[in-house]
Amino acid sequence: MAVPGQKKESLTPSELHFIATSEYVVEIVPNFSMGQIRLLSGIWGPFTPPGKARVPLWLALDLKRRKRCSIVAPEWMSVDHLQERLKDETTHGEYADLPFRYLEISKAIIGVAGEDVDNAALIRSLLMDIRQARQTKSRQGVVKMNDAGMAMTGISQLEINELRPFFVQSFGVMRRLGGAHVAAPMSQSTQIPSQFTLDEDGWDVSGV
Amino acid sequence: MTIDFDSYYSIDSIIADNQKVPSEFLTNVPGQGWLQGGLENDIKEGAKIDLPYWLSSTLALSEYDFLNLSIPPAFSTRVTNALIASPSFVKLANLNHFWYSFGIRISDLLEDNLKLQQSLRLAFTNRLIDIFDLGQYEGSVDDKGFETDFKAGMDELEKQLFHICAASAAQHKRL
């Protein structure tokens, strides 16, 4: 199939952005009144200002662009919470506990509704610090890589997507190079059984 | 793009099949003297010729004793020792541009291939982090033309991994 090489390896960041905005649900404060609306993802609303409503992120972003609502940033995007996570990240060996798609979600919200987020600039720099700390951990994963497998508990979608092509190919090479205990196969023909049956002299006798 | 050692259509594996293996003939072969590159018509018993892997492996594994193979210089003990001492400083590309693919082929021919396999594995696992770092760096900077000693010494397989890593890093830089 004529798919570009990079799309075969993993998803693109924009595809991840799309998935995150379809999946994630945020709270908004609408500035219009409307009853419930029925979408493929479910029934959302009603919209009664100044009450809050829960909607999918893509809808929230769209309403925000039309200046029809303000987005309430999720709790984990607060300065306090992120500072704590950054502390976890630098003191513990594991990835800190953050939403699976935290990078995509936070970027979308800050990018479109930066004015609704308190301390947006500080949050952005905290997120960058967290990401850098996590990248250091991913690098440790490469150092410890072997052909048996590896655990990267808590790694996020975007990070795993970035590492995937390199890791998959490296695992492939490692498996072929084999452990010291694994005897290498003599040739590839021993792995794939031939559809023909050959006699000692190499003649095809499957039809006989 | 997938890294492939033995696929029929893989250009890299075809080139790896053509790397030269030092071989010693155990019989006289009339009419094939051109393999030596000289003017002689016949190959004499005891002649030492570098033959491509696809030819030497077939002859060596056949039921007649045509050839004695020796391990190519790129996989000598000296190289293994250098790899143990400092994996990142060995220039694999200077030894052989298809060092890993060729090494696997040689190790498949050997009965006692433990040492060779270990040095292939040792080289790969220890150089991987350098490839990763270099790829991440290349993905994040605008100037792609920089040269380092390690970059110049990567074999073809490592270069492929490097490009995969750099492309992915560049793609995910923004988010």
Q: Which of A104, A169, A188 lies closest to B164 in CB terms?
A: A169
Preferred mutation among A9, A103, A176 to probe B, highest tally of B CBs within 10 A: A176
CATH class of A12-174: alpha beta
Mind listing the pLDDT tens digit for each residue in B15-31? 999 999 999 999 888 88
Smallest CA–CA distance, residue A180 to chain B, in Å, is: 6
Sketch the domain layout of chain A as residue ranges.
Answer: 12-174
Domains and CATH numbers, chain B: 19-70 (no CATH), 74-175 (1.20.58.2050)
Instruction: Quote the CA–CA distance of B72 and A94 in Å, as a whole number.
Output: 45
Rounded to whole angstroms, what are the CA distances from B47 to B31, B39, B66, B71? 14, 14, 11, 16
Q: Which ipTM was obtained for this model? A: 0.86
Nearest CA in chain B to A140: B129
Write out the two tokens for B86.
Answer: 């400092």
A104 C-beta neighbours (distance < 10 Å), count: 25
Alpha helices in chain B (DSSP H): 11-17, 53-61, 77-85, 92-95, 99-109, 114-140, 149-152, 156-171
Q: Which of A82, A157, A74, A159 is nearest to A126 (CA)?
A: A82
Cβ contact, residue pair A184, B108, below 8 Å = yes
Cβ contact, residue pair A172, B108, below 8 Å = no
pLDDT of residue B1: 58
State the amino acid at position B15 in one-letter form: I
Q: Which of B119, B6, B72 is nearest to A178 (CA)?
A: B119
Smallest CA–CA distance, residue A4 to chain B, in Å, is: 10
- For residues A90 and A133, is the Cβ–Cβ distance under 8 A? yes
The gap between the terminal CA atoms of chain B, to the nearest Å, is 24
Q: Which of B100, B124, B171 lies closest to A13 in CB terms?
A: B171
User: A39 pairs with which residues across the strands?
Assistant: A42
Q: Which of B108, B125, B133 lies closest to A186 in CB terms?
A: B108
Q: pLDDT averaged over chain B?
A: 89
Per-residue pLDDT of chain A (208 residues; tens, 9 = 90+): 678 777 777 899 999 999 999 999 999 999 999 999 999 999 998 999 889 999 999 999 999 999 999 999 999 999 999 999 999 999 988 899 999 999 999 999 999 999 999 999 999 999 999 999 999 999 988 888 877 777 888 899 999 999 999 998 998 888 888 753 343 333 333 333 333 444 444 444 444 4
Q: Which of B104, B117, B135 lies closest to A166 in CB terms?
A: B135
| Residue B55 CA from chain centroid, whole number | 16
